[in-house]
Structure 1
């Protein structure tokens, strides 16, 4: 055999390194999900959803392409699902964990999720997706780290901190859920307090259990910040310290230095903070947007502590001021300043800029208007005047066995205008496989912020504006370096436009991330399908597939063989 040349040896060495770096690990987790009535984060007795006794739940710490196995034991007294907010579930919407794709895990039962962090990096979080349970806890952080062969566009920080911040109710989530189901005041229900990693604000009268981070002078730390709340956006800041924005939901951004950062419901960011101040203690603040909250007294201002390791000085004095919470121009300008870093790789070695949108052909446009309505006396949220009604049988199950027959009808939903009258419906539309879709979100919810999320895909955020969107707005789109993220905000009385490349076959949930909006009907599904039976197009059902509704034994979630319907399917339109 002829000897290899030095060039061939070099190529083999490089390929060996790349293959070794691409090897995926299997991460096995066992979760026991239960209600804890003794945890009491605000000292008032209330049930909190814990995972393995923890609130928030354990961090999922993975690397690009890892397989994550989560065996969930449901010790609640009601059904349960988990969704992995921002993890794209490549070719595998069976693991998405929302009502349209999975049968729920029944009380006393367990089910094992298996998903891959395929071609992803970044900061995300998980949470329970049904029964308004997110308002009772059950959420936790997800980190997806770079493979060693992919350079990170900033020096390795001294440490990383997960910071899950969100609004919280004093009443139990079951109580709030009952209000949502029956009373018009559901529209105006505002949470009572802001928690940081499940802990109340520093100095709050209900407890002394606040969040604190110990740091070393001169070092730089990465804070992974997620808004895990139900309705309120917040402005995040650290007293006397600058924030260097580096990543949002799986995309590296152009690094910009900020005094404060707006974070909307469902969003995640990474910021770098250098400890370059006098060794002391400093306030960490998350103050709500569009709420008249006093900076020094309101429970809705989340407060934590940044503690320098050699500090002997305790916190005192007023909280650092932030932008006017009603100043939408500030927030919009900041949002537009967040751009994609085109020169760096992320999950793959090629730069993010190789996936630009400046010359794509749009094959579909959906114009989606969020609004409130009353249907048969019930308070509801809707998209184009259609409020989603969850059928007994998951859409994905019906799609697999019967092409959706009896559960939903495809493409009746109005994708470019609102119906004249509000009504219930099972809204499922076709997304053109490997086509580019333009999604335009109009917010007509009065003075409330809205946020939108599409499972399975990233949004290229091409435009944000005031007033109602019109075709002329396309001339203002940023098609050079729009940031790619999984959740995008829509300002009151304004619009947001995104592009998405529908290269991921499956049944994908498009929803408001504001929990009450979602719970009361502001969601729909995009069916991205390819008739090619090649398994590379979409994975088959998992071997542990749960059956329910039309295909189960009375809809109890058991794994019965497919047979005659156990009960009548829900209508697709009522």
Structure 2
């Protein structure tokens, strides 16, 4: 790993973060415990450039263990810095740990957040920008400025209380968030809300908005009064540039859009509302787009979006988001140099999300398996004793449901440098979204009803967008292709936090939607050394 990092052409970025619980922040109408990074909520921008080596020294000043993950950063040959329970021991209270990773061959809009113990419901998240190297052309004019928008649903209670409620069988599936925040702030116009977010623009100028859904449960629809958006990028891929009145953003997803201040000098509503939620207008997040020299508050009706239950709108929009084949991204050669038109699949995984009752308790399941998070990281267990007593290798029901619902910790081997097809199906009446660490995958298809192999003939293999998080519609399926060229042990999980808490538990605790993908796993001496540095403080010396 060291040779890989020092041979790159990027720079070095060093940051120090102190993560703590602040009880005096009021995102909505009440003071509540909020997880801050360097006293900020959301946390500070991590602003880097393609191929930079990034050092993030995280001090855990909370009263419980912590892990930070880097949503969409691929961690090339570096899965032990991924910041999820399968690859790292947690940072113990009053200790620190330095994450070291390279943003190898990546550009785009991403986010970071705490990955265990329902911490994300308490904050701790922030934006990541991976800028292009100056020698690489960007497929749109340089914007006047950039804004980071972290939008997500929010509980107006302590994340510890919500975490406890979700372990109660009577509340496991029915604990909805209270509102939506924009950059950690409540809605404009609510007199009980301390602050609202505002974005200052100059008439005639164009701005790049980097938007991430950092929420817990709800997909959102985003829009700006009287302004259209031009979609240009998603999670490291430049897209065909399409003009939109509103944009659906699902949990864990990120987009970049261009907005031109081409209206009369005034203030305008910036709005986000939840999908598949009744009374969504009462839950809307509202910020302000403020033109320089404006003396007019936002006026007129708050812009309405599509019907929150109209999945056809959402599905059609998703299908319209395609890869820009002619633009370069992190390298000068066009993205379309790499395509999936003639690939040979080496494996197919079918991932079915559902719920079940196991030993009398409600569980979220994947293929009828409810994932048990072990106290020892999977990768450490694999290195020390081949995973014995911690996980089961290659016994996961990857082609369909297990005959009966069970708890378990499974790891599945992927074929190194092989193409894998992953078909996500959703038997729940909620929008789900799935994320694969370590890779960008090609989103080749969406559909309603049951998936079958004959559907492959309708896949978009010409210009499927490449990203790391894909939505799965209620009663539907989504299919992706991934090229397994990044050896390591990687997390495949639902981005909906209620489905995946990444909290170690026994069979009496709540369940998660999660699977682990082991792909040509190779570890060297440095790997064990890294684990010992972090895991000794957690009492896991070997």
Bin of the TM-score, shorter chain as denominator length: over 0.9
Q: Residue 489 in 1 paired to residue 471 in 2?
A: yes
Q: Residue 141 in 1 paired to residue 127 in 2?
A: yes
Q: Distance in 2 between matches of 1:42 and 1:273?
A: 28
Q: Residue 71 in 1 paired to residue 57 in 2?
A: yes
User: Matches of residues 490-505 of structure 1 in structure 2 within 5 Å?
Assistant: 490-505=472-487
Q: Residue 416 in 1 paired to residue 399 in 2?
A: yes
Shift of 1:280: 0.6
Q: Distance in 2 between matches of 1:152 and 1:462?
A: 25
Specify the alignment match of 1:233 in structure 2. 219
Specify the alignment match of 2:241 in structure 1. 255
Instruction: Tell me how many residue pairs correspond in the alignment.
Output: 527
Q: Distance in 2 between matches of 1:33 and 1:392?
A: 22
Shift of 1:530: 5.2
Specify the alignment match of 1:44 in structure 2. 30
Specify the alignment match of 2:71 in structure 1. 85
Specify the alignment match of 1:526 in structure 2. 517
Q: Distance in 2 between matches of 1:321 and 1:449?
A: 21
Specify the alignment match of 1:557 in structure 2. 538
SS of the counterpart of 1:331? helix
Equivalent residue for 2:374, pick from 356, 380, 391 = 391
Specify the alignment match of 1:319 in structure 2. 302
Conserved? CA contact 2:443–2:479, under 8 Å: yes
Equivalent residue for 2:101, pick from 111, 115, 129 = 115
Shift of 1:91: 0.2
Deviations 1:472-527 (A, max 9, x none): 11111000000001100000000000000000000000000000111231001000
Shift of 1:208: 4.0
Conserved? CA contact 1:507–1:528, under 8 Å: yes
Deviations 1:294-339 (A, max 9, x none): 53xx1x2111000000211111232011111111110000000000
Instruction: Evaluate the alpha carbon distance shift between residue 417 and residue 205 of structure 1 in structure 2; reply closer, same or farther with a 3 A threshold.
Output: same
Instruction: Evaluate the alpha carbon distance shift between residue 343 and residue 420 of structure 1 in structure 2; reply closer, same or farther with a 3 A threshold.
Output: same
Equivalent residue for 1:540, pick from 527, 530, 536 = 527
Q: Distance in 2 between matches of 1:294 and 1:407?
A: 43
Q: Residue 350 in 1 paired to residue 333 in 2?
A: yes
Shift of 1:183: 2.5
Specify the alignment match of 1:10 in structure 2. none
Conserved? CA contact 1:103–1:547, under 8 Å: yes
Q: Distance in 2 between matches of 1:544 and 1:157?
A: 42
Shift of 1:407: 1.2
Conserved? CA contact 1:56–1:197, under 8 Å: yes
Shift of 1:266: 0.1
Q: Distance in 1 between matches of 2:432 and 2:27?
A: 27
Specify the alignment match of 2:436 in structure 1. 454
Equivalent residue for 2:139, pick from 153, 169, 172 = 153
Conserved? CA contact 1:84–1:125, under 8 Å: yes
* CA RMSD, 1 decimal: 1.5
Shift of 1:559: 7.4
Equivalent residue for 2:229, pick from 219, 243, 265 = 243
Runs in 1 of length 4+ with deviation above 6 angstroms?
Answer: none
TM-score with structure 1 setting the length: 0.90
Shift of 1:204: 1.8
Specify the alignment match of 2:454 in structure 1. 472
Deviations 1:96-152 (A, max 9, x none): 010010001111111111011000000000000000000000000000000011100
Conserved? CA contact 1:48–1:136, under 8 Å: yes
Shift of 1:169: 0.4
Q: Residue 372 in 1 paired to residue 338 in 2?
A: no
Specify the alignment match of 2:504 in structure 1. none
SS of the counterpart of 2:293? coil
Equivalent residue for 2:317, pick from 317, 334, 339 = 334
Equivalent residue for 1:185, pick from 171, 184, 205 = 171
Conserved? CA contact 1:94–1:542, under 8 Å: no
Specify the alignment match of 1:289 in structure 2. 275
Q: Distance in 2 between matches of 1:450 and 1:474?
A: 22
Instruction: Evaluate the alpha carbon distance shift between residue 510 and residue 294 of structure 1 in structure 2; reply closer, same or farther with a 3 A threshold.
Output: closer
Q: Distance in 2 between matches of 1:215 and 1:374?
A: 52
Unaligned runs of 5+ in 2: 1-6, 502-510
Conserved? CA contact 1:387–1:521, under 8 Å: yes
Specify the alignment match of 1:306 in structure 2. 289
Instruction: Evaluate the alpha carbon distance shift between residue 539 and residue 478 of structure 1 in structure 2; reply closer, same or farther with a 3 A threshold.
Output: farther
Instruction: Evaluate the alpha carbon distance shift between residue 291 and residue 423 of structure 1 in structure 2; reply closer, same or farther with a 3 A threshold.
Output: same
Deviations 1:141-166 (A, max 9, x none): 00000001110000100000000000
Deviations 1:394-447 (A, max 9, x none): 00101112221221121111001101221100021001100000000000112x
Specify the alignment match of 1:515 in structure 2. 497
Shift of 1:377: 2.8
Instruction: Evaluate the alpha carbon distance shift between residue 47 and residue 404 of structure 1 in structure 2; reply closer, same or farther with a 3 A threshold.
Output: same
SS of the counterpart of 1:37? strand
TM-score with structure 2 setting the length: 0.95
Specify the alignment match of 1:362 in structure 2. 345
SS of the counterpart of 1:184? coil
SS of the counterpart of 1:540? helix
Shift of 1:206: 2.4
Q: Which moved more, 1:197-206 or 1:56-65?
A: 197-206
Specify the alignment match of 1:195 in structure 2. 181
Conserved? CA contact 2:37–2:43, under 8 Å: yes
* Rg larger for: 1
Conserved? CA contact 1:546–1:557, under 8 Å: no
Equivalent residue for 2:149, pick from 155, 163, 186 = 163
Q: Residue 405 in 1 paired to residue 388 in 2?
A: yes
